[in-house]
Homo-oligomer: A and B are copies of this chain.
């Protein structure tokens, strides 16, 4: 077994001088390496052993920095969530801010599609950037007049649409190809052929249609709730 990579060249390690041969592990380096492994081998391919190989270190050294695969995933989620734009909350009306957030959120996870099913069920406990993101969204919705007891349902509904749409970005262009069974679905086949956009532009088009409708619908819901609750 290799010895752990040194973190501090203190008096206990007089043999080593200058830069250590292997880079010192950090949360940032571990997160970047985990994203590389997931991108290549999928979520199931991310093991502590595979992550240690990616970092060119021993598993024992890795365990000095992070206690489990779940903690690594928590860091990865937090890193990706930190790239999501929440700046419109508290500045723009809630509905416009929600749309800007949803666009940025979809783009962030479309770049990391193997993460989507993992992130969808991963607790955010201990993830400071994720907590900061949800705080801004919740604050923007509350300021926009949403009752406190509905705020999380609004967030979850928009997130569900965003994560489903982020998966759709990775769909192949021929996903709706009826092949030689056109007779089973003639109306559908014609509608597929009539779709103006192809590939990523088609995904963008469906996402915009759905997001505009969802947010317009939420505006109506909020108006109805406020009228009812007074």
A residues at B contact (CB < 8 Å): 42, 44-45, 113, 116-117, 120-126, 128, 131-132, 134-135, 137-139, 142, 148-154, 156-165, 167-168, 170-172, 174-179, 181, 184-188, 190-192, 194-196, 202-203, 205-207, 209-210, 212-218, 220-221
- Residues on the B chain within 8 Å of A210, using CB: 153, 156-158, 160-161, 214
Majority secondary structure, A binding face: helix
A132 to B184, CA, bound (A): 6
Q: Which 7 A-B pairs have the closest CB atoms?
A: A157-B210, A213-B217, A164-B164, A160-B164, A217-B217, A156-B206, A151-B191
Does the CB pair B124–A175 fall under 8 Å? Answer: yes
Residue of B whose beta carbon sits closest to that of A196: B149
A137 to B188, CA, bound (A): 8
Residue of B whose beta carbon sits closest to that of A210: B157
Does the CB pair B153–A205 fall under 8 Å? Answer: yes
A214 to B42, CA, bound (A): 32
- Residues on the B chain within 8 Å of A179, using CB: 125-126
